[in-house]
Structure 1
Amino acid sequence: MLYFSIFLQAVADIIRTTLGPRSMLKMLLDAAGGIVVTNDGNAILRELDVAHPAAKSMIELSRTQDEEVGDGTTSVIVLAGEMLHVAEAFIDKSYHPTVICRAYIKALEDALAVLEKIAMPIDVNDRAKMLGLVKNCVGTKFTGQFGDLIADLALDATTTVGVDLGQGLREVDIKKYIKVEKLPGGQLEDSKVLKGVMFNKDVVVPGKMRRKIINPRIILLDCPLEYKKGENQTNAELVREEDWGVLLKMEEEYIESLCMQILKFKPDLVITEKGLSDLACHYLSKAGVSAIRRLRKTDNNRIAKACGAVIVNRPDELQESDVGTGAGLFEVKKIGDEFFAFIIDCADPKACTVLLRGASKDLLNEVERNLQDAMSVARNILKNPKLVPGGGATELTVSATLKQKSSSIEGIEKWPYEAAAVAFEAIPRTLAQNCGVNVIRTMTALQGKARDIFIYPSFHANGENSWVGIDGNTGETADMKELQIWDAYNVKAQTFKTAIEAACMLLRIDDIVSGIKKKQAPGAGPSKPTIEQEGDADNEQIIPE
C-alpha cells in the first residue's frame, strides 16, 4: 500500500486547490489541442492521463459521485486521499489492513448517524430558501460571480420536469428531460428556461409551410412517410412502358393514404424521426400543415413530455388522444446562421430547454458545467428535502463526535477509528488553505468551538446549536446558520460513503500484479517451455508492477 499511496495522494493534491469559493482554476490541454479552464473536480480528473491502476480507481470516485448526486466531486477525492494518508502510519506499524478497514466502516456508520441527527428539513415550496441553498452550493464555481442567475435557471428547470410519485416522493430526471442549448452571442443575463422544447431544425418546405403557429395541434411519428422500398433481393422486371407508370401510381397512392390518415386529425405540425418524401411534403403543405423530419429520438421524447403528445409508430394507429395540444406556440427563428424551432408556452410541460447565451464557447462550456451541478443540487433537495451546514461545519461536527466516541472503543481498532475522525478535518482545513489564512490558528479555533458547542451544547449561551464553520470568502470562522450556508444531505452522505468505502477497498490491495504471456515473433510456432517453465507449461509469469 505504501508503494502506491504516493500516486493516490498526488491525485488528491491536484484538485485540492479547487475546493471552496476562493478556489484556483486549472487549465487543461486535451489531446486535440483544445483548452479547458475550470475548477470542476470531475472535469479536471476526466482529462488526466494516468497509467497507475490505483490512481485510476481514485479518478473513478469523482465520476461515481458526479453520476450519483452531481456535486461534491472535489470533496470526495480530498476526503478519500486524507483517509489513505492517515492510514499510512498504521501500515508502518504493521497493523493489518482488515483492522483499519473495520475501524473505517465503524466510523462511516457513526458519521452517517451524526448526519441524520443534524439534518434539517426544508420546505421545497419556499423559493427564497431553495434559491439561497442552490446558490450556496454553486457559489464555489466560476459562475458564482453572476449572483442568482444560475440558481434561478437550475431551480426553474428542475421544478418544471419534477413529477410527483405520491407518498412524498418526487422524480426529477434532469438528463432525459432537460436539454441545455448553448448559443454564442448576447449576454449571459439573456439566458432563460423555456417552458417547452427548442431544437436545431427548420420546416421541410420553408416557402410553403408556416413557421409560426399559435396553439398548434402536434402529431409525433416514429416512422417514415416514404414509400417502402423492397429488400436487396427484390427484383422488378418492367416489360412495357406502362408498367413503370403503374409502379409510380402505387407509390403515390400509398403515400397519399398515409397522409390522409394523418390529415383527418387536423394537425398543424407533424414531426417524424425518419424520412419524409417530396410527395408527402406536397400533400401536407397543400393542407396547411408544417412538417419537420429526421428529429433525434431524445428531442422527440422531450416534445412529447412538453406538449402531451404520444409518439406513434404507424399512422393507421393514430387516435385523437395521441395529438399534442398543450403547446402555446410553435415558431422557427433564425439565430446567427442557423434556424431553431421552438415549441414553447406549454400548459403543463414535463420537459424543458435551458437556453444559454454568452460571449464565447469556452465561457458557455463552463457555465453549462456549473449549471449541471446546480440542477443536480436542486434535484437532490427536491427528492430528499434535508439540509446540513456547509463551510466544513458538518465535517467538524462529525470529527468532534467521533473523537469523543473513540474513547469508548476497545481494542486495537480504537486508533484507526480516531485517525478517521481526524481525517474528516481535511475539508475545513483545505477551505482555510485556499482562503490564504493561518491554517493552524483557524483549525485550532474551530476544533475548540466544535468541541464546546457540538459535544457540550450546554456551554452555548443561547442553548442552541450554532454551526461553526469557515466563511469561504474571508477564511474567518463564522456561524453557518447566520450566513445561510447549507449543503444537501444527499450530497454529504454520498461523499462520506464513496470516500471511506473506496479507501477501504484500496487499503486491502497488498500488491499489483500483471499476467504477461511470452511474446513470439510473427509467424513463429508455439515456443518450447524453458527450464523454469518445464513441468508447468501453462504457467504465466506474475510480475509485481
Structure 2
Amino acid sequence: MYGGGSGPIVVLSQNTKRESGRKVQKENIQAAKNVADVVRTSMGPMAMLKMLMDPMGGIVMTNDGNAILREITVQHPAGKTMIEIARTQDEEVGDGTTSVIVLAGEILAISEQFIEQNMHPTVIIRAYRQALEDIVEILEKYVSIELDVKDRNKLIEVVKSCVGTKFIGRWSELACQIALDAVETVTLEENGRREIDIKRYAKVEKIPGGSIEESHVLKGVMLNKDVTHPKMKRLIKNPRIVLLDCTLEYKKGESQTNVEIMKETDFTRILELEEEHVKKICDEIISVKPDVVITEKGVADLASHYFLKAGISVVRRVRKSDNNRIARACGATVVNRTDELREEDVGTGAGLFEVKKLGDEYFCYITDCKDPKACTIVLRGASKDVLNETERNLQDALHVARNLLIEPKLVPGGGAVEMAVSRQLSEKANTIAGVEQWPYKELAKALDIIPKTLAQNCGANIIRTLTALRAKHATGGNTWGIDGETGVLVDMNVRNIWEPLSVKMQTYKTAIETAILLLRIDDIVSGSKKKSDGNENSGAGPTAESMME
C-alpha cells in the first residue's frame, strides 16, 4: 500500500490496520492522475521534452509518451498499471501513447466525485461500459471517413499529421516517404489478407555522422559486418547467396572427450581429421557455386582459405533476425546442415553485394533485390541522441502507415474527433434512465481533455478556445479542432490533419477499460513485511516526486 507524501509503503500484517474501500480507490485515482500529469505537457506539436536520467548516468531526451513512461520508476501499483497501458497501446497500434494516459487519468479523476457521493463503483462501471459501446458506434458510423490506399499523397498527409508533433517533424516529408516505402516493401498479400510485419522485416540501422536528409530506405538489407578475409571480393553483381545456420569450424568433442596419444603420428592424424572435416563441409557448399556465404555461427581460418580459393566471400556471426531478413529479400532458404544444401536454397534475387566503409566501420549491403519483402532503413544524424529520438519517431510513423494499409479509415485530428464524440454522447446521456446518466455525462465531458491539453500546451486561452470549439460543433462543424501550434480553431478538413481510426479506437478502449479496472479495486494487500515508522498514511496519495525515483 502506498504511504502518502514521502511516507513509507505501508504493509498489511497482523498489527497494521487493513485499508480498503473508498480510501484505496481514492489513492488509485490519485496515482493515475500523477502519472497523467507527467506526460500531459508532452502532447501535441508544441510539446515539451523530458530529460530522463537512468541509474547508470545515461540521459534520454524525448517527448514520446511511451519512452518517458518506460524510463521512470513508479512505486504505486495503480501507477504501474497506467504505465502498462502505454506499453499495450504502443504494441497494438504504435501511436497515441500520451493520449491514452492523459485520457485514462481524466476518466479516473471524474470518477472521484461519484465515489465521494457514495455511488457504488459497479454503477459507474456500467455507465462507462455503455459509453464505450456508444463511442465505438459513433466513431464507425458518424465520424470516420474512408481512405483510398492507392492515393499516396493522402497517405503521406495522414502520416505527416502523426509525425508533425515529434522531433522529426522538421523532416516530416522525408520521414513519411521513408515510412511508406518501408511498409509497402514488407507488405505480403496472401489469400486476400495483408500481413505487414514491421518489427521483423523493417530494420532501422543508425549510423552517426552525415545529416538526417541522407536517411533512406534500402531495397534490401544492410549489416554492420565485413568479410572474413581481406582478399575476398567486396563487390559482386547478381550474387548467388547461401545462408547457413551452422558452424564452418572443426567439430569439437563433447566435454568428457579423452584422447590417448601413443606416438607423434597420432597427433598429426587428429589434425588431418579436423582438416578433412572442414574441407568436406566447404566442398558441400562450393558444389552449389555460391558467390556469397553468410552464416550465423563462426568460420574457421582454414574454411576461409578454401572459400577464398573458390572466389567466395564469407560473412560470419550474423544475427538470426538479420539472416531471416536476407532470406526474405533475396529468396534464399536458411540451411541448418551443409549436406542438405540444394540448388533451390540458393538466393538469386539480389542485384548487388557490396562492402562499404562508413566512418570507422564496415557495412555489408545486399541491395537492388528484385522483389524484396524485407528492407533496412538507414538513418544518419549528428549524434547518438538525435538518432535514437529519430528512430523512436520513425517507429510511430511506420506503425501509422501500417495501420492505414490494414484498416484504411480516418478521423479528424487536433481534438476534433473528441469534441464530436463528446457532443453526441452528451445528447445520448439524456435518454439514459436512472443514476447512471451522471457518470455517462461526465465521461462525455472527460473527452474534452485532449483538445484542452492541446490548447494548454501552446499557451492559448483554454476556456475561450474550448467554448468556441463547442459552439462550432454544436452547429454541425464536426471536423473543427485546435491548431496545436497557434491555438486557433481550424477546420481539419482544410488543414488535412487526420488520424487513423484504429489508433483512436484503441486509445478509447484502453483508457476506459483501464479506468474500469482500477475502479474495481477495493483492497490492496502487500505480501512482504516492513516496519512502519509512525507516519503511517497521510492519505494524500503519492506525489509525482515520491512516485518516481
Do they fold alike, i.e. is TM over 0.5? yes
Deviations 1:187-239 (CA, angstroms, capped at 9, x unpaired): 11001111111111100001x21011111000000001122111121212121
CA distance in 2 between counterparts of 1:333 and 1:433 reads 49
Match of 1:504 among 506, 516, 521: 516
Residue 125 of structure 1: CA displacement? 1.9
Give the aligned residue type for 1:130: L
SS at match of 1:148: helix
Give the aligned residue type for 1:87: S
Instruction: For CA contacts below 8 A with separation 6 or more, give which structure has more relative contact order.
Output: 2
SS at match of 2:475: helix
Residue 146 of structure 1: CA displacement? 1.8
CA distance in 1 between counterparts of 2:507 and 2:473 reads 21
1:65 aligns with 2:89: yes
1:325 aligns with 2:348: yes
Match of 1:401 among 424, 441, 449: 424
| Worse overlay, 298-307 or 26-35 | 26-35
SS at match of 1:447: helix
CA distance in 2 between counterparts of 1:449 and 1:518 reads 57
Give the structure 1 partner of residue 318 of structure 2. 295
Give the aligned residue type for 1:94: N
CA distance in 2 between counterparts of 1:409 and 1:441 reads 30
Contact 2:163 2:172 in 1 (8 A): no
Residue 122 of structure 1: CA displacement? 1.2
Deviations 1:388-412 (CA, angstroms, capped at 9, x unpaired): 1111111111100100000100011
| Worse overlay, 422-431 or 249-258 | 249-258
**Structure 2: which 5+ residue stretches go unaligned?**
1-24, 532-538, 542-549
Contact 1:466 1:480 in 2 (8 A): no
Match of 2:242 among 209, 219, 225: 219
Contact 2:104 2:515 in 1 (8 A): yes
Deviations 1:430-482 (CA, angstroms, capped at 9, x unpaired): 111112111111111111221221xxxxxxxxxxx651111112211111111
SS at match of 2:527: strand
Give the structure 2 partner of residue 36 of structure 1. 60
Give the structure 1 partner of residue 438 of structure 2. 415
* TM-score, length-scaled by structure 1: 0.91
Deviations 1:140-167 (CA, angstroms, capped at 9, x unpaired): 1111122301111111111111111232
Give the structure 1 partner of residue 50 of structure 2. 26
Note the aligned Cα RMSD (angstroms): 1.4
CA distance in 2 between counterparts of 1:388 and 1:483 reads 13
Give the structure 1 partner of residue 207 of structure 2. 183
Residue 517 of structure 1: CA displacement? 5.1
Provide closer, same or farther for how the CA distance between residues 21 and 424 of structure 1 changes in structure 2, counting only shifts above 3 A: same
SS at match of 2:526: strand
CA distance in 1 between counterparts of 2:344 and 2:154 reads 40
Give the structure 2 partner of residue 96 of structure 1. 120
Identity %: 61
CA distance in 2 between counterparts of 1:279 and 1:515 reads 60
Deviations 1:21-68 (CA, angstroms, capped at 9, x unpaired): 111111112211122111100111111121111111111111111111
1:122 aligns with 2:147: yes
Give the structure 2 partner of residue 138 of structure 1. 163
Deviations 1:229-275 (CA, angstroms, capped at 9, x unpaired): 11121212121222222222222222212111111111000011111
Give the structure 1 partner of residue 273 of structure 2. 250
Contact 1:437 1:475 in 2 (8 A): yes
SS at match of 1:366: helix
Contact 2:251 2:277 in 1 (8 A): no
CA distance in 2 between counterparts of 1:518 and 1:347 reads 65
Give the structure 2 partner of residue 526 of structure 1. none
Contact 2:94 2:400 in 1 (8 A): yes
Give the aligned residue type for 1:125: K
CA distance in 2 between counterparts of 1:184 and 1:282 reads 34
CA distance in 2 between counterparts of 1:308 and 1:49 reads 45
Deviations 1:7-34 (CA, angstroms, capped at 9, x unpaired): 2111111111111111111111221112
Contact 2:416 2:478 in 1 (8 A): no
Contact 1:50 1:56 in 2 (8 A): yes
**Structure 1: which 5+ residue stretches go unaligned?**
454-464, 520-543
Contact 1:466 1:481 in 2 (8 A): no
CA distance in 2 between counterparts of 1:162 and 1:246 reads 54
SS at match of 1:114: helix
CA distance in 1 between counterparts of 2:273 and 2:61 reads 59
Deviations 1:310-351 (CA, angstroms, capped at 9, x unpaired): 000011111111100111111111111111111111111111
**How many pairs align?**
508
